[in-house]
A and B are shown apart, each in its own frame.
Chain A
Amino acid sequence: MSRFTGEMLSRAEELVSLYPDPRSATIPLCHLAQEQDGYVTNEAMAHIAELVGSSAAEVQGTASFYDMLKLEPVGRYVIGVCTNIACMLRGAYELLEDAEGVLDVPVGATTADGLFTLEEVECIAHCDRAPAAQVNYRYFGPLDRESFETLVTQLRNGDLDDEVPPHGTLLRVRREAPAVIPMEEIDRYRAQEAEREKASD
């Protein structure tokens, strides 16, 4: 584990092949590492560096900038309660307190069974359903203590497995398309177009 192998490796190579510059695949590969291991391990960062042609330090520098990329293990479900303005105006801080109570952990911590990590997050663009929360970036709201408790029970019982995959799995739809057109071929097309235009003017 941690380095990409088998199917994960071929998915990683496919991601690298999409971009004119392989380094553009850095963040998508970090997401892929999370899908494999639940978080971005040091070994994965070293492997990503090999794949995109940078250094492990550069990959870590990038990964550590982004809130969604976890450099340490988290729960199977990362629950983020939004407390930003639109949610705050509709009771988000009260909901966050309720969430701490229901899960019996403070913000930032993971439950003892490794199932839930609780986070306070900034606006998740679900403000018309305030107060809102996300579970592995799937959105719920408006929530109160009761509906939050129900949500947690459903997650625990696996009732939401279809909607909410384990932490790290972001996109379950894979790219299905021919290989991207080589830039040189596009360059030639565009040059021909320009020629044709000149001729027709």
Chain B
Amino acid sequence: MGRDITLGQFMPGHSVIHRLDARSKILLLISYIVFIFIAGNYMSLLLITMASLLVVLSTRISFKMYLKSMRVILFVVLFTGILNIFYGSGEVLWEWWIIKITQGGINNAIFVTVRIATLVMISSVLTFTTSPSDLTDAIERLLKPLTVFHIKVHEIAMMMTIALRFIPVLLEETDKIMNAQKARGADMESGNVFKRVKALIPVLIPLFVSSFRRANDLAMAMECRCYNGGKGRTRMRILRFSGVDLFALIFSLVIFSGVILCNIYFSPLTR
């Protein structure tokens, strides 16, 4: 079951994007998302979408994987897209009874769809090309300033690392336990809601028991290696900015200025 989920899955590789510092990737991702929403007409949307596609292609990960992660939200995208067709102002293109399709409505629909699709794609770039440990490491470093406000950044990052690390383990375990109970005739596919919830008990109890056991083992193992929080802790892999990061920054700044220029020089969209 769980093995089919690609949303948020690391795929090792050696592309330019893989080599970027995780901190740059997070910061650039945030700015891309902001600029996807700043884009106010077709020209600027085209520009930011093309740039995102270029980034996606340069990860050297099969486009199929991106499509797969988009499939999860396909319904939401289509639903909002279609709904948007019927809301909008401007020139009426087609009218029947109370249904009115306007130029603004079509613009809205296209914009919403393209924006969400680009958003998912560019976010997948981060999760596909960054190992979970680099990711949490980067988040910890980026949030470091918050320690001033007595926020335990290291502890939060450590919890995230552990949680991420154990998601596949738990999925596999769930799979195994489900199979074991199915082999004893547990029926998880049919019946009404109550029956199905009840059918989960034979899976959830062993899962909880083993999660606690694992948590206990892990805590013990960490303690045995004298883990005592973030103070004075050094790292095996140190994040470093390099030429690739500078290049990515310049590329993105060019695209972002392009988006702003397009917004200024081309007329805004009728909504």
Question: Do chains A and B interact in one complex?
Answer: no
Footprint of B on A, CB under 8 Å?
none
Footprint of A on B, CB under 8 Å?
none
